[in-house]
Structure 1
Amino acid sequence: MTPSTGDRLLSVVRDGVRIHDLGRRLFVGMPQSPNHPAYWHTLPRRHGDRVRADGGSAANDMVVMGTHVGTHIDALAHVSQDGLLHGGADAAAAGAGGVYPEHGVHTIAPMVRRGVLLDIPAVLGETCPPGHEITPADLEAAQKRQGTPVGAGDVVLIRSGWGRHFENPDHRVYRGEESGVPGVGEAGARWLAERRAHAAGADTIAFERLAPGAGHSRLPAHRVLLVESGIYIIETLALDELAAAGVHEFTFVLAPLPLFGATGSPVRPLAVVSDTLVPDTVVSCRGGAGIGGTDG
């Protein structure tokens, strides 16, 4: 690569480009599903524990966490139905040896795709109430209002407004164990599957609607997306800043950790928006596979 070529490439991301961070910060005690191991961070070595002869010292970390904690992506190995994974694979046999070689998160290629934010509170005129089911009519109304029809291969992010509770000191509020949590139900998941989305995400703890008092006892959208359709799910996204900026279409960037055979991975997704390029040139392959593998 010549210096002039490098300069031209850098100018694409330097001039008139805004990057919105869609990942949540990870911290001990953050709200999470009770079904997964909690996040824990500690310093096995602190500055001063060992000091070199020249006066230098170093600190290091140890992190323990479930792969479905904080902002994360669900691999196809995450959910089975009637003993079967996506494509009809036997769930028990697929995990022999304690890993999922064919359905694990390492099989999710890095994503550089067209992203669409469907801002449901903007349609409803209010933040989604607890336990509200986001219907296909809501999704249709959002894409019509924004002029951003969902196409095959897109990553679709659904904002309910529930993300405002993530930093609430009472973590039961974000989990919505008693109140319920808004999100798509089975019908909304089928709407996404019919449009052949590559992945779908939300600002909530489980992506889909949780009924009041029901917790995670029934997750039909996970079945429709992961098992039946091969569509990845991204949970606990930070979407309020994107909505406040009026951004509904962008280049979506995400790379899972290559955890061989794992059922999920922490992620830090980005929404990249250009002020100088028209939408169809900024995004990756409208209606196509984009970069990062074929459609689910």
Structure 2
Amino acid sequence: MKEPYGKLPLPKMTPYLLSLMKNGKVFDLGTVRSEDMPLWSGHPPFRVLPYKWHGETEDVTPPGTLYNDMVITCMHAGTHVDAFNHIGEIQGGGTIILGEGVDAEKTREWWGCNWMDGSKFHPIILRAVILDILNYKGGEDTGGQVTLPRKYGITAEDIRGCLDSQNIEIKPNVPTAFLIRTGMIKYFHNKTDNYGGNAAGPNLEAEKYMASIGGVLTGSDTVSYEQMIVGEHTVHRWMMQNGILMNEVLDLEEICKAGVTEGVYIALPLKIKGTSGSLIDPIVIT
């Protein structure tokens, strides 16, 4: 039996979650991955390579044929969830620690990281709260698309105000996925350099507030999630050390256009040993 992953509870479709699904409509929050998709500068290129083309293998008996491929990717290409081993923190003397004070060097294996890697993930089923911060705050043209201002720090007051404007009830005892729309995903679809690490995102105050009202997973439509000013990953580090999962590169355009603010979030991470996260294609059911 799997153990809880950080604050993430073991998957269970509770009566309360069932009550959130009123019409059975499914919203796909995942993005299409391709060689020309925007990636954070620290990630390797994404490649799909034909391994065997139709007619090139004897392992299929004619008249049948087979096509097989090989994908080269990190676990942070397109929509994904970070594992708790993804971000560390340098201490005095140069030691790097992960969550729970684990020495990062002691987790290194030839096959990857042995601590809180992707193989520890379990299915994710949570209450979903969609925070359309772009609609609540208003946006500006940031290079051809209307988004929140570049590098804007979403505050706890912004989160509270958006929840109130959307008439969303705060339920601190219900494990919740808070999903934030900034508008930046439009640059991902346009495959432009404007989809980068200088997008708006929650500051540490906002992240702590969401955690205090039931947030066990938070995410957004940007490549770096948090307000990224100098790259210290302040919010990332706090989340990793406090067991809060993170989603990045969520496509929230359709669900926000439909005016949906609440539902059931479901994601099935890939259980791959040694990894620093997982590609996902999450859905919200309403």
Provide TM-score, normalisation by structure 2. Answer: 0.82
Write the letter of the residue equivalent to 1:239.
L
Which residue pairs with 2:69 in the alignment?
61
Q: Give me the whole-angstrom Cα distance separating, in 2, the residues matched to 1:15 and 1:79.
A: 38
Of residues 249, 257, 267 in structure 2, which corresponds to 1:254? 267
Offset, 1:85: 1.3
Which residue pairs with 2:166 in the alignment?
146
CA distances 1:141-180 after superposition (whole Å, capped 9, x unpaired)? 111111222534211111111111112242x11115xxx2
Instruction: Kindly indicate whether residue 167 of structure 2 is the aligned counterpart of residue 159 of structure 1.
Output: no
Higher alpha-carbon deviation: 77-86 or 94-103: 94-103
Q: 1:193 to 1:46 in 2, by over 3 A?
A: same
Asked whether the 8 Å contact 1:78–1:264 carries over to 2, the reply is yes
Q: 1:143 to 1:94 in 2, by over 3 A?
A: same
CA distances 1:242-293 after superposition (whole Å, capped 9, x unpaired)? 10111111100011100112111100101011xxxxxxxxxxxxxxxxxxxx
Offset, 1:93: 1.0
CA distances 1:72-95 after superposition (whole Å, capped 9, x unpaired)? 100111111132211121221123
Asked whether the 8 Å contact 2:119–2:271 carries over to 1, the reply is yes
Which residue pairs with 1:285 in the alignment?
none
Offset, 1:101: 3.3
Q: Give me the whole-angstrom Cα distance separating, in 1, the residues matched to 2:279 and 2:79.
A: 6
Of residues 215, 226, 234 in structure 2, which corresponds to 1:220? 234
Alignment map for 1:22-101 (pairs within 5 Å): 22-50=29-57, 54-82=62-90, 83-101=96-114
Asked whether the 8 Å contact 1:160–1:182 carries over to 2, the reply is yes
SS in 2 for 1:112: strand
Write the letter of the residue equivalent to 2:176.
D
Q: Any unmatched runs of 5+ in structure 2?
A: 1-18, 91-95, 140-146
Which residue pairs with 2:157 in the alignment?
137
Q: 1:98 to 1:150 in 2, by over 3 A?
A: farther
Q: 1:106 to 1:219 in 2, by over 3 A?
A: same
Equivalences, count: 252
Q: Give me the whole-angstrom Cα distance separating, in 1, the residues matched to 2:131 and 2:61.
A: 58
Q: 1:207 to 1:53 in 2, by over 3 A?
A: closer
Q: 1:53 to 1:231 in 2, by over 3 A?
A: closer
Percent of counterpart pairs with the same letter? 28
SS in 2 for 1:174: coil
SS in 2 for 1:167: helix
Write the letter of the residue equivalent to 1:147.
N
Q: Any unmatched runs of 5+ in structure 1?
A: 1-11, 274-296
Q: Give me the whole-angstrom Cα distance separating, in 1, the residues matched to 2:122 and 2:64.
A: 40
Q: Structure 1: which 4+ aligned runs deviate by more than 3 Å?
A: 48-54, 96-102
